[in-house]
């Protein structure tokens, strides 16, 4: 006979936090949002941690390279979508990993006999106005000089003339040698008042470039998430079908974290793919699994599939219709608390801590805060990031307002049958919809509001770390009436209730 859980399936909006004692040192500047993404034991530091507890969903309309770059610069991590050809996904990963390393391989190079017209065309193509000149126009050719926007006047000079006549020749260029530290390179830039420092090898061939703007960029983004080689960290989604080809290609491109992108991760498919990945690549790579909604699913992925972190949530996503279509899922708050309880039990048994990610259905900052208070180590969001300027979709004007398309991976538009193991069924039914979301600003802008609110709540809860936050958290269930009371009450809202004159 079927087992029936009589406890009602709950969502985040049914809970509120009760403040704990706030001491004088509980101030937002003292709060750290650092959180583990790889499994760890109390004796050892995790192999990888995030600097903010936010990751973007592995979805076509959310996570491309621009999102990955922007999010890693703020301290989080994007999971570049896997519902695309392997080479294309690997190229996106590689774009993030080469984005900024301090020492950047030059991607805009000229030969001395190229014309100024060629230089202008190259600048348009790459967007870079600093162009090294090498003997054969390759990125590691013999370095002859450098051409920038300042070296010629587009509307005055003869654009058919060779760049040789306009470039700053090597003898007048300040450059560094391979082996120089980033700190020394920045000192040279500062001392010589330069914007860009070419780095040459012992044969005078170009190795890389160091930019002044990258130094400032780094200073403005103190939470930037970097790997050991000072490259931005990125994640990528993988499926349980073509992993034997996809995983090596992504690792080759430099990916740091993989996550199985599946609507239901409690499966032998996921176990086989995860074990294969671990056997082949060991601890070199962080591997996440999911999605699950209870302790059984958690145990299976951790004990049988040797997963690093477990993702929780079925049917809560903003574009998701899985619960309606197939009758599977669980209220996100109930799913999360069940998995967190099992995680804590597993930790007390083994001393191994498995980070838990709450995925989907976070409709506002309050729900994000409640999810973290309930013990999620980080949260994955689709809609939240789809609304930013960095999501990979075009802006669309509807009724005078700007929107972006946002569609589920289980929709006909995405046709990601691998996520739903639907190969045999084909796309006979959808598990996601095609939608629009309003544009709200850049990743930096939205995260700045969310993190400010989160830090403020953490101080209310007498906590300086996310661990203290969930350890200290006391939550109360609320009635529908208290939910109404939580909004404005008994006043006319200037925004909502009083018609404005137009």
Residue ranges in contact with ligand IMP by CB under 6 A: 57, 59, 263, 317-320, 322, 359-362, 380-384, 408-411, 431-432
Catalytic residue among 82, 320, 357, 459: 320
> Please, what is the minimum distance in Å from the beta carbon of residue 433 to ligand IMP?
7
Q: Output the six-digit token pair for 227.
A: 């790997």
Cα–Cα distance between 502 and 495 in angstroms, integer?
Answer: 14
User: What is the rounded end-to-end Cα distance, in angstroms, of the chain?
Assistant: 63
- Smallest distance from ligand IMP to CB 385, Å: 8
Q: Which residues, at least 6 apart from 228, have a Cβ–Cβ distance to it below 8 Å?
A: none
Residue placing its CB nearer to ligand IMP in the complex, 164 or 433: 433
What is the C-alpha R_g of the chain? 26
Of the candidates 48, 53, 39, 47, the residue with the CA atom closest to the CA atom of residue 467: 53
Per the CB < 8 A criterion, the answer to whether 268 and 305 are in contact is: no
DSSP codes of every residue in 16-82: EEPP-PPPTT--GGG----EE-S-EETTS--S-EESSSEEE-S-TTT-SHHHHHHHHHHT-EEEE--
Provide, rounded to whole angstroms, the least separation between the CB of residue 126 and ligand IMP: 32
Q: Which CB, 301 or 380, lies closer to ligand IMP?
A: 380
Report, in Å, the least distance between residue 242 CB and ligand IMP: 19
Nearest distance in Å: CB 432, ligand IMP: 2
Structure tokens at 388: 């930013």
Minimum separation from the CB atom of position 233 to ligand IMP (A): 19
Phi, psi of 238 (to 5 degrees): -135, 160
Nearest residue (CB) to ligand IMP, 263 versus 389: 263
- Contact status, residue 92 vs residue 69, Cβ threshold 8 Å: no
Q: Which residues pair with 320 in a beta bridge?
A: 432
Phi/psi at 379 (nearest 5 deg)?
Answer: -125, 145
Q: Is 65 exposed, middle or buried (0-12, 13-18, 19+ CB in 10 A)?
A: buried
Residue in 231, 246, 419, 459 annotated catalytic: 419
Q: CB within 8 A of 106, min separation 6: which ones?
A: 132, 139, 198, 206, 208, 209
Compare residues 151 and 409 and give the one whose CB is closer to ligand IMP.
Answer: 409
Backbone angles phi, psi at 421, to 5 degrees: 50, 45
User: Is the CB of 28 or the CB of 405 nearer to ligand IMP?
Assistant: 405
Task: Give min distance, CB of 330 to ligand IMP, in A.
Answer: 13
Q: What are phi and psi of 115, to 5 degrees?
A: -90, 170
List CB contacts of 29: < 8 A, sequence separation 6 or more: none
Query: In whole angstroms, how close is the CB of 243 to ligand IMP at the nearest point?
Result: 18
User: In terms of CB distance, is 120 or 433 closer to ligand IMP?
Assistant: 433
Three-state SS sequence of 141-163? CEEEEEEEHHHCCCCCCCCCCEH
Whole-number Å distance between alpha carbons of 118 and 114: 6
**320 is annotated as an active-site residue:** yes
Residues 374 and 469: their CA atoms lie apart, in Å, by 9
Closer to ligand IMP at the Cβ: 116 or 362? Answer: 362
Cβ-count burial 298-326 (b if 16+ within 10 Å, e if not): bbbbbeebbbbbbbbbbbbbbbbbbbeee
> Nearer to ligand IMP by C-beta: 214 or 431?
431
Q: What's the rounded Cα separation, in Å, for the pair 393 and 64?
A: 10
| Rounded least distance, CB 264 to ligand IMP, Å | 11
DSSP state of 195: S
Q: Which residue is nearest to ligand IMP (CB)?
A: 432
Nearest-approach distance from CB 381 to ligand IMP, in angstroms? 4
d(CA 157, CA 104): 30
Nearer to ligand IMP, 133 or 387 (CB): 387
Q: Has 190 been annotated as catalytic?
A: no
Which is closer to ligand IMP, CB of 76 or CB of 360?
Answer: 360
Annotated catalytic residues are 320, 419
């Amino acid at each position: 006979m079927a087992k029936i859980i009589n406890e009602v399936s709950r969502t985040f909006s049914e809970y509120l936090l009760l403040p704990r004692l706030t001491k004088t040192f509980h101030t937002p500047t003292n709060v750290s949002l650092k959180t583990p993404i790889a499994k760890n034991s109390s004796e050892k530091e995790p192999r990888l941690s995030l600097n903010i507890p936010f990751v973007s969903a592995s979805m076509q309309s959310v996570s491309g390279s621009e999102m990955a770059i922007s999010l890693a610069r703020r301290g989080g991590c994007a999971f570049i979508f896997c519902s695309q050809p392997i080479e294309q996904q690997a190229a996106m990963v590689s774009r993030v990993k080469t984005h900024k390393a301090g020492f950047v391989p030059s991607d805009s190079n000229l030969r001395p006999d190229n014309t100024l017209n060629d230089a202008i065309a190259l600048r348009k193509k790459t967007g870079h106005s600093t162009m090294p000149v090498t003997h054969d126009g390759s990125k590691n050719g013999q370095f002859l000089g450098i051409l920038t926007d300042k070296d010629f006047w587009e509307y005055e000079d003869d654009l058919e003339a060779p760049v040789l006549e306009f470039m700053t020749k090597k003898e007048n260029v300040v450059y560094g040698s391979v082996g120089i530290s980033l700190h020394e390179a920045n000192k040279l830039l500062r001392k010589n008042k330069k914007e860009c420092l070419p780095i040459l090898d012992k044969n005078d061939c170009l190795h890389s470039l160091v930019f002044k703007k990258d130094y400032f960029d780094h200073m403005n983004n103190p939470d930037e998430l970097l790997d050991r080689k000072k490259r931005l960290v990125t994640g990528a989604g993988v499926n349980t079908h073509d992993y034997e080809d996809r995983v090596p290609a992504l690792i080759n491109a430099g990916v740091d974290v993989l996550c199985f992108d599946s609507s239901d991760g409690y499966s032998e498919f996921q176990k086989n793919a995860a074990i294969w990945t671990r056997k082949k690549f060991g601890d070199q790579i962080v591997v996440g699994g999911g999605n699950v909604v209870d302790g059984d699913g958690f145990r299976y992925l951790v004990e049988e599939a040797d997963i690093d972190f477990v993702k929780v949530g079925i049917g809560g996503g903003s574009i998701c219709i899985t619960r309606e279509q197939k009758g599977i899922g669980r209220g996100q708050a109930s799913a999360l608390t069940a998995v967190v309880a099992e995680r804590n039990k597993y930790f007390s048994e083994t001393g191994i801590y498995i980070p838990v990610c709450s995925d989907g259905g976070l409709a506002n900052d309050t729900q994000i805060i409640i999810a973290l208070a309930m013990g999620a180590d980080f949260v994955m969001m689709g809609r939240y990031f789809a609304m930013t300027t960095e999501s990979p979709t075009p802006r669309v004007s509807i009724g005078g307002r700007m929107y972006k398309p946002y569609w589920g991976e289980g929709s006909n538009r995405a046709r990601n049958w691998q996520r739903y193991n639907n190969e045999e069924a084909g796309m006979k039914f959808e598990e996601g919809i095609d939608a629009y979301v309003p544009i709200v600003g850049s990743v930096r802008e939205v995260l700045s509001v969310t993190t400010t609110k989160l830090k403020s709540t953490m101080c209310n809860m007498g906590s300086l770390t996310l661990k203290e936050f969930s350890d200290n958290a006391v939550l109360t269930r609320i009635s529908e009436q208290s939910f109404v009371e939580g909004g404005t009450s008994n006043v006319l809202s200037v925004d909502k209730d009083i018609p404005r004159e137009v």
